Amino acid sequence: MGDAEKPLVSLAKHEKIEIAVKDALDRLNLPNLQGKRILLKPNVGRETENPLSINTNPKVVEAVFSYFKEKFDAHYYMGDSPIINTDTQKAFEQSGFTKLINEPDLQFLDLDEKLALELTIPDGKILKKIKMTGYWNDFDYIISIPVLKMHMHTGASLSFKNLKGLIYKRNKIKLHHLQVPEILEPYQATIENIKELDLAIADLAHITKRPGLAVIDASYAQQGMGPSSGEPIKMDTIIASPDYLAADIIALALTQPQWTLKNVPHLYLISEQRKFHPKTRNDIQCIPEEIEPFNHPIEPPPKTISIKYKNVNLVSKKSCSACLSTIFNLLKNNKEFVDDHYTEENPLNLAIGKGIQDSDLYENTFLVGNCTYEHKDKGIFIKGCTPVESTIMRLIKDSLEK
């Protein structure tokens, strides 16, 4: 690949993240977007009191919006479709987006509000069709604004993974439950830890490849147990590119220098979809050329997911990250209570995921989430998808009073 053909990635760093956004965008050649319909797609997937590095930093979205608004008289939208059981507007408000929601030149959208549109994916390996947001045809240009974060199931969550929020409602969760071993097996020989979910995200890339821009928010990146139980790491960095894959590759080069793309299987699969797709950092032209000053290695996600507490026995089989994160956050937020009421000999037994078997369960196991419904007579069933932390805690407390 000659330098002229290489996709361009612009990096900028500044304590005032709005300055980093402007610097990064200033170095790109943006198309003429006059009169176009532009979606700002941050990652606001969760209602959380501590959104730092879990949801996109609103300052980054504000800066992107101001930058484009100044340049182009266009129709601007901002929206997401969060994880199940999450109120979209509440998630945005809790994460500091109220000013943008009330911005007269920006229309806020709950992407689940309009009836779904089913799209076919002729080149899909595992997904042949998918229900997307009903707003799908209402945008000419999509700006994916993810948080740079590690992910316990997919290695990392970046620009492509953020577009999973364009899938309609519960159809997102279906991607976590695909089981097609005959399609997966040939990949397992060369890609460690690949799952059906990775194939599905890569399939989605066939349809989400449309004019757009990636602006990766690494004001605070999330290390370790992402997408929501990791630790925020201040990086003050923005990575922007009209090529989502190139932006994602550079984000990994900065934070996981030892990795190859196979550590994030969906990105490896996307890079292999076309001969001309970038495959390594060498296939990308960065501005500035030297990216070493931006390097900031962070902890990868753990290889095996285990609970550190001796007084908690968690059985997790084929669970998705939403349920796992709920449990991790619940244990983190209620550690004192759990330590006061459970011991190594008499642990808090929890089970999550679709793969749970009767033989995994003790009589007093809390079966958390709708995926465990068929075992409900074998323990204490707690409904929800995603189950709600406060409800789980209430039922645990109730059971202790009995």
Measured from the CB atom, is 249 or 368 closer to ligand SF4? 368
Measured from the CB atom, is 7 or 353 closer to ligand SF4? 353
Q: What gap in Å lies between CA 264 and CA 273, rounded to an integer? A: 15
**If we measure between CA atoms, which residue out of 159, 254, 263 comes closest to residue 201?**
159
159 binds ligand SF4 (CB under 6 A): no
Q: What gap in Å lies between CA 103 and CA 188, rounded to an integer? A: 48
Least distance between ligand SF4 and beta carbon 360 (Å): 14
Q: Site for ligand SF4 (CB under 6 A): which residue of 279, 353, 378, 382? A: 353
Q: Are 133 and 168 in contact (CB under 8 A)?
A: yes
| Number of Cβ atoms within 10 Å of the Cβ of 275 | 7
Measured from the CB atom, is 130 or 261 closer to ligand SF4? 130
382 binds ligand SF4 (CB under 6 A): no
Torsion of CA 226, 232, 233, 237, to 10 degrees: 90
Q: What gap in Å lies between CA 383 and CA 46, rounded to an integer? A: 18
C-alpha 24: how far from chain center:
22
Least distance between ligand SF4 and beta carbon 318 (Å): 8
Place of tokens 């009073």: 401
165 binds ligand SF4 (CB under 6 A): no
Least distance between ligand SF4 and beta carbon 351 (Å): 11
Q: Site for ligand SF4 (CB under 6 A): which residue of 63, 201, 352, 382? A: 352
86 binds ligand SF4 (CB under 6 A): no
Three-class HEC string of 179-216: CCHHHHHHHHCCCCCCCHHHHHHHHHHHHHCCCEEEEE
Measured from the CB atom, is 63 or 200 closer to ligand SF4? 200
Measured from the CB atom, is 12 or 367 closer to ligand SF4? 367
Three-class HEC string of 40-54: EEECCCCCCCCCECC
386 binds ligand SF4 (CB under 6 A): yes
| Secondary structure of residue 314 in the 3-state scheme | strand
370 binds ligand SF4 (CB under 6 A): yes
Measured from the CB atom, is 279 or 354 closer to ligand SF4? 354
Task: State the residue number with the nearest CB to ligand SF4.
Answer: 369
167 binds ligand SF4 (CB under 6 A): no
252 binds ligand SF4 (CB under 6 A): no
371 binds ligand SF4 (CB under 6 A): yes
Using CB under 6 A as the binding rule, the residues of this chain from 306 to 335 that contact ligand SF4 are 319-320, 322-323
Measured from the CB atom, is 219 or 386 closer to ligand SF4? 386
How many chain residues bind ligand SF4 (CB under 6 A)? Answer: 13
Beta bridge partners of 76: 38, 106
Say if strands 212-223 and 147-151 run parallel, antiparallel, or are unpaired.
parallel
338 binds ligand SF4 (CB under 6 A): no
Q: What gap in Å lies between CA 387 and CA 11, rounded to an integer? A: 38
**If we measure between CA atoms, which residue out of 324, 311, 328, 330 comes closest to residue 352?**
324
Least distance between ligand SF4 and beta carbon 270 (Å): 24
385 binds ligand SF4 (CB under 6 A): yes
**If we measure between CA atoms, which residue out of 206, 295, 220 comes closest to residue 250?**
295
Measured from the CB atom, is 178 or 291 closer to ligand SF4? 178
380 binds ligand SF4 (CB under 6 A): no
Least distance between ligand SF4 and beta carbon 178 (Å): 12
Residue ranges binding ligand SF4 (CB under 6 A):
173, 176, 319-320, 322-323, 352-353, 369-371, 385-386
